[in-house]
Structure 1
């Protein structure tokens, strides 16, 4: 099945291309307020929970049809752990649902899958730890509120998974949305270039949170310290061994399989030639200064590596290179890029490949993108052209331990995620219109908090059906 078969089940496309940004701030303010006529603030609270949505699960099966078949049971296994891991893998289902709700029609470069687990810490090129969005597989132009609803619901579902009290969960969601609303107002009043360069420094932010609350946040502090240790040396030490004068990948199937062990490829030399072609194509996507960095690297080995939850089944490769010598490794990840779920509802991407869509979207959204970020394409063994985006595997990346969040941690993390999301939308959309649409009261915050509870219950219903289908054998599970 080709990706062209993955179409919305029933909803019409969402038109976000007709928004015309007025020149004067006062006109943009009026346009944002006028958008309430087709999407009143209170309308965002509404979601009617439906049971037995077999058609929703069918969307997952359609996605799985274009992925690596032997990895689908692993994908479903990872999604089956909890309602939250299920939510992480069901962005297509939620996007399909959001297409049936009122939309403002104000476009931004959406993240596409802005749940709380897709934000984290990483090292910027200036060697500072920053907090930002870290997953861009679904990025495309779409309504800003879809990203915010995806984030708000994830805060509610995460709170449920961690047995946080309903009152505290609602408080976390409200603070998340309020932070987005207040930051958007702040960005809308800044000079545009100042807003573009703004970023969320981890140490400064944690210092401010701790000063405001009078308590330390050891969980986020520990994550920041661990991020400093997640570099190319650490990745090579964990994933590789020294053999025959070169760095070689360890074998740990199905999560990590060196290319010479992939049984589905009868000719490893042909596979290696395809990977060589992929890197040559990637090289040409880099600016000259970044290309010079890449040209200093010498190839050692490659492996297929399973990543994420919802991404399982998409083709992902990891390669190890050396620069100065064997003690100066560089780990590079090549991850398959397919259609964005937003494209079914908001129009096709203008970029010629999905790899470029992901990379250009990330550069628009993220303040300090990886210096080796690029894209590539090559012809696969089945004769299909496959698109990839390429980046460093570890460059100070710190993932938040979502399962260990208490109520205070959840609030702090939700606020940081909302700050980053508002910044991404302010960089790429009409911040004045968005800020004035939401207004200066908490009416919009309360609406999204109510929606989050209802949609979390919908997620519980869909998860229960998903588990029944696994138990009955209708869906494969490793």
Structure 2
């Protein structure tokens, strides 16, 4: 009987396979684990303020003062908006060469809960605007630094901040070691549901958190958004304005959004297209969202089901090049929106079935469902439980990296000791200090009048 043996997946230009990645022992010769702690601002090779302002060229100019105002509000909001600064810092230093699909902005509040297509809540990464293939430690360092920055923002002591950082790094190390011995199919099916997330906390805390999560998730749906964000005007449901953060747009932008929605529908599978065809778009507004996204063109489209009038919201976001693209290989995707969506699908345990992309007027966009039972944490809430929450984030990041990279190589590099963990915690403190200096530079530029600012919230 002939032997049947063949590779079942032909090479794709858009996907990097784990087999081509550098092994962990070899990577230690390029970047020792102790070197993970290093940070020297004299060697960074760029000016943080200039890097921030360089991002303004593709953004809506009238929204830039709001962007600057939000970033200037505190070192934490600055950190959220300064992914490009950290990308330049990480990209200027040697890296391990152990590649994964980077989230690109894996800060501690970019993890949250939302509904899977089966309507189960899952805890996972939630923002992929900067996703590209790159060295695994770049995501890990951004997570580590964010824990310290957030801790300082919320009055958490330095000792507890370090404990939380160490907990997250250990969780990542231990989980990636576990995945190194796990069949690939089991890694891809693995996810953190609500019960598993609550298992990180004490029983009393878990009970309160579970009730809060359930209440928020039930409100944060398209129907809940309709009750909160819309009103009836001349017999039609309209999105309520909140200038300048939510405003109706002129005819030219209505035409653009109409083209985006129509073009986006060609990127989704047939069964989703069939579902979308049962809705009609009835209103659209421009939104100002987040910190890093301010100035990028973001729209909220209200759709109504043709038969019942049931409301459904889609969020449309302009996508630009990843902040890491100057430091890694050029993106394999010609459309930045597709880069975001495909990276999201690679990293998440379950992805919004409505995500898609298109290009209109020389701009790339991606589209996703709005709200969808999303429960997004805030610093004040998780501050007292930072170590527990950060541990969950570390495990999620490990799973995302194991899906797209070589868990064995990462585990071999990190080892079983705390050598890498301690080094990453040292880096986190040092980079949090640098972040404060960079924030102060922006605040000073605003005070001099060289950078425009408007109230952020």
Under a length normalisation based on structure 1, what TM-score does the superposition of the two structures give? 0.88
Question: Using the alignment, how far apart are the partners of 2:275 and 2:395 within structure 1?
Answer: 32
Q: How does 1:187-206 map to 2 (within 5 A)?
A: 187-206=179-198
Partner of 2:377: 400
Q: CA deviation at 1:53?
A: 9.4
The C-alpha deviation readout for 1:277-310, integer Å capped at 9, x for no partner, is 2111101000011111111112111110111111
Partner of 1:434: 410
Mapped contact 1:107–1:144 kept (Cα < 8 A): yes
Distance 1:419 1:217, change over 3 A: farther
CA RMSD, 1 decimal: 2.2
Partner of 1:464: 440
Partner of 2:130: 138
Are 1:236 and 2:226 matched, yes or no? yes
Are 1:256 and 2:246 matched, yes or no? yes
Distance 1:126 1:103, change over 3 A: same
Q: CA deviation at 1:417?
A: 1.1
Are 1:357 and 2:328 matched, yes or no? no
Q: CA deviation at 1:152?
A: 0.5
Q: Which secondary structure state, in structure 1, belongs to the residue aligned with residue 259 of structure 2? A: helix
Question: Using the alignment, how far apart are the partners of 2:36 and 2:363 within structure 1?
Answer: 38
The C-alpha deviation readout for 1:168-198, integer Å capped at 9, x for no partner, is 1100000000000111111111110110110
Mapped contact 1:246–1:326 kept (Cα < 8 A): no
Q: Which secondary structure state, in structure 2, belongs to the residue aligned with residue 141 of structure 1? A: strand
Question: Using the alignment, how far apart are the partners of 1:216 and 1:364 within structure 2?
Answer: 30
Pick from 318, 326, 329 the counterpart of residue 300 of structure 2.
Answer: 318
Aligned length: 441
Q: CA deviation at 1:405?
A: 3.0
Structure 1 residue runs of 5 or longer lacking an equivalent are: 1-16, 263-267, 380-384
Question: Using the alignment, how far apart are the partners of 1:194 and 1:471 within structure 2?
Answer: 54
Are 1:370 and 2:362 matched, yes or no? no
Are 1:169 and 2:169 matched, yes or no? no
Question: Using the alignment, how far apart are the partners of 1:208 and 1:468 within structure 2?
Answer: 41
Q: Which secondary structure state, in structure 2, belongs to the residue aligned with residue 343 of structure 1? A: coil
Q: How does 1:100-111 map to 2 (within 5 A)?
A: 100-111=92-103
Partner of 1:44: 36
Mapped contact 1:299–1:321 kept (Cα < 8 A): yes
Distance 1:312 1:450, change over 3 A: same
Question: Using the alignment, how far apart are the partners of 1:466 and 1:297 within structure 2?
Answer: 45
Pick from 381, 397, 411 the counterpart of residue 421 of structure 1.
Answer: 397
Question: Using the alignment, how far apart are the partners of 2:45 and 2:410 within structure 1?
Answer: 33
Under a length normalisation based on structure 2, what TM-score does the superposition of the two structures give? 0.92
Question: Using the alignment, how far apart are the partners of 2:439 and 2:43 within structure 1?
Answer: 11
Are 1:275 and 2:267 matched, yes or no? no
Q: CA deviation at 1:51?
A: 11
Q: CA deviation at 1:33?
A: 1.5
Are 1:302 and 2:284 matched, yes or no? yes
Distance 1:202 1:124, change over 3 A: same
Q: CA deviation at 1:221?
A: 5.1
Q: CA deviation at 1:325?
A: 5.0
Question: Using the alignment, how far apart are the partners of 1:139 and 1:217 within structure 2?
Answer: 35
Pick from 311, 315, 326 the counterpart of residue 333 of structure 1.
Answer: 315
Pick from 170, 180, 194 the counterpart of residue 172 of structure 2.
Answer: 180
Mapped contact 1:50–1:458 kept (Cα < 8 A): no
219-228 or 328-337: which moved more? Answer: 219-228
Mapped contact 2:44–2:89 kept (Cα < 8 A): no
Mapped contact 1:44–1:102 kept (Cα < 8 A): no
Distance 1:181 1:249, change over 3 A: same
Q: How does 1:379-398 map to 2 (within 5 A)?
A: 379=361, 385-398=362-375
